[in-house]
């Protein structure tokens, strides 16, 4: 079955540290890729997305992600995190198969705690 893996359950960083959160998916066909963020007490918000074109995509708040097709990966990065980046981050993949238009598969999420 298709799946999305996020390698880290909980990441703790100090402010100004660099961040990289891993995401891998298991599907060899066409995909649309997303990172969503959920700040404490808030709902899921789209951070960035990849549909096609340049595999390095930039999102809001200085986040970026790189799609590496050969590795089935879509890792999220930020050069310097801030305390306000404390949140839970979800990788999500839409896999175009069998006419499926709705099936967005999420990873289990990574909690990021940034120490001031």
Partner 1 sequence: DTGVSQNPRHKITKRGQNVTFRCDPISEHNRLYWYRQTLGQGPEFLTYFQNEAQLEKSRLLSDRFSAERPKGSFSTLEIQRTEQGDSAMYLCASSLAWDRDYNEQFFGPGTRLTVL
Please report how close the Cβ of residue 75 comes to partner 1 at its closest, in angstroms.
17
Q: How far is the CB of 1 from partner 1 (least distance, A)?
A: 10
CB of 8 to partner 1, least distance (A): 13
Binding region for partner 1 (CB under 8 A): 4, 32, 34, 36, 42-46, 49, 51, 90, 92, 94, 96, 99-109
- Distance, CA of 108 to CA of 54 (rounded, Å): 26
């Amino acid at each position: 079955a298709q799946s999305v893996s996020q390698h880290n359950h909980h990441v703790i960083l100090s402010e100004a540290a660099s961040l990289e959160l891993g995401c891998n998916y298991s599907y060899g066909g066409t995909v649309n890729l997303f990172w969503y963020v959920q700040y404490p007490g808030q709902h899921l918000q789209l951070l960035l997305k990849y549909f096609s074109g340049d595999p390095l995509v930039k999102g809001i708040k200085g986040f970026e992600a790189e799609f590496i097709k050969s590795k089935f990966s879509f890792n999220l990065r930020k050069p310097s995190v801030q305390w306000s980046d404390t949140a839970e981050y979800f990788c999500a993949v839409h896999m175009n198969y069998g006419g499926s238009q709705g099936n967005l598969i999420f990873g289990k999420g990574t909690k990021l705690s940034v120490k001031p």
